[in-house]
Amino acid sequence: MVFVDVALTPTDQFFDEIAQRVSTLLEERFGTQPAEWLTVADAADHLQTTEDGIRALVKRKRIPHHRGAAGRLLFDRDELDAWVRSE
C-alpha cells in the first residue's frame, strides 16, 4: 500500500458554504436569526455617533464588542440595541 502526502487547502468559498449551512441548521433548530455583525463604521451609523466615539467606548470597555479575524472590531446589532436600552 502506498500513501501519498497531499496538502489540502480549503478556500474561502468552502468556509462560506459551511457557515451558511450551519446558520440554516441553527435557524431551523432554534428559530432564531444569526447575529448581524457590524463594523466600527456600521456601529457608528447605527448608534448615530462617530467612529472615534465607538473606539473610545471600546477602549473604556463600555460597549459590547467582539474581535474578529486579525483583531478586527465587530459588533452584534442585537447586543448594541440591548446595550442602548440598558444605558
**pLDDT (0 to 100) of residue 51:** 97
31: left (phi over 0), alpha (psi -120 to 50) or beta: left
Q: 77, 38 in Cβ contact below 8 A? A: yes
The H or E element spanning position 35 is: none
**pLDDT (0 to 100) of residue 23:** 78
Quick check: pTM over 0.75?
no
**pLDDT (0 to 100) of residue 45:** 97
**How far is C-alpha 9 from the chain's CA centre?**
23
Question: pLDDT 10s digit of each residue in the chain, 87 long?
Answer: 777 777 788 888 888 888 888 878 877 777 766 678 999 999 999 999 999 999 999 999 999 999 988 889 999 999 999 999 998
